[in-house]
Amino acid sequence: MTKLTLGTHPYMLGFEQLERLLERSAKTGNDGYPPFNIEQTSETSYRITLAVAGFAEGDLSITLEDSQLVIRGRQSDDSDGRHFLHRGIAARQFQRSFVLAEGVEVGEAIMENGLLHVDLTRVEPEKIVQTIQIRRG
């Protein structure tokens, strides 16, 4: 018995891209840093919140790359002349990736109290009924 995937299932036509997105999201390599929340703020909107204590707005970048939201952080080394007895606040770079469904748009990003909020909105596609004419061959 052969295993059916989305791309090979006889009733699921054109879903090869979805299968590639699932494979890509499994390979993003997110290691748990920084911690984040995803909340649904309404029927059609979401908010991703990342804990980015110690990062300034200029240390962060948010890009949308082929339906993948990528948030990167890189702090500049500001420990010149400072001697730490203990350094427990992480100052490492990170990359967090989120695969977005078709129709999900990225809204604004807000820094507040060490948290980065990124708002997303799902745009409902217009429902279209199309009649296909049958012609004699």
Tell me, yes or no, whether 117 lies in a domain.
yes
Taking CA atoms, 109 is separated from 13, 49, 66, 79, 103, in Å, by 36, 10, 19, 28, 18
Tens-digit pLDDT profile for residues 74-97? 987 666 788 889 888 767 899 999
Measured in whole angstroms, how far is the alpha carbon of residue 62 from the centre of its chain? 10
Could you tell me the residue range of the domain that residue 62 belongs to? 30-77+89-122
Q: How many structural domains does the chain have?
A: 1
Tell me, yes or no, whether 118 lies in a domain.
yes
pLDDT means over runs of 10, the chain (137 residues): 64 72 64 91 96 92 92 82 82 89 94 97 90 91
Q: What is the DSSP string of 56-85?
A: -GGGEEEEE-SSEEEEEE------TT---S
With beta carbons less than 8 A apart as the criterion, state whether 99 and 67 touch: yes
Tell me, yes or no, whether 17 lies in a domain.
no
Tell me, yes or no, whether 36 lies in a domain.
yes
CATH number for position 108: 2.60.40.790
Tell me, yes or no, whether 5 lies in a domain.
no
Residue whose entry in the numeric block shows the structure tokens 């009733």:
11
Tell me, yes or no, whether 39 lies in a domain.
yes
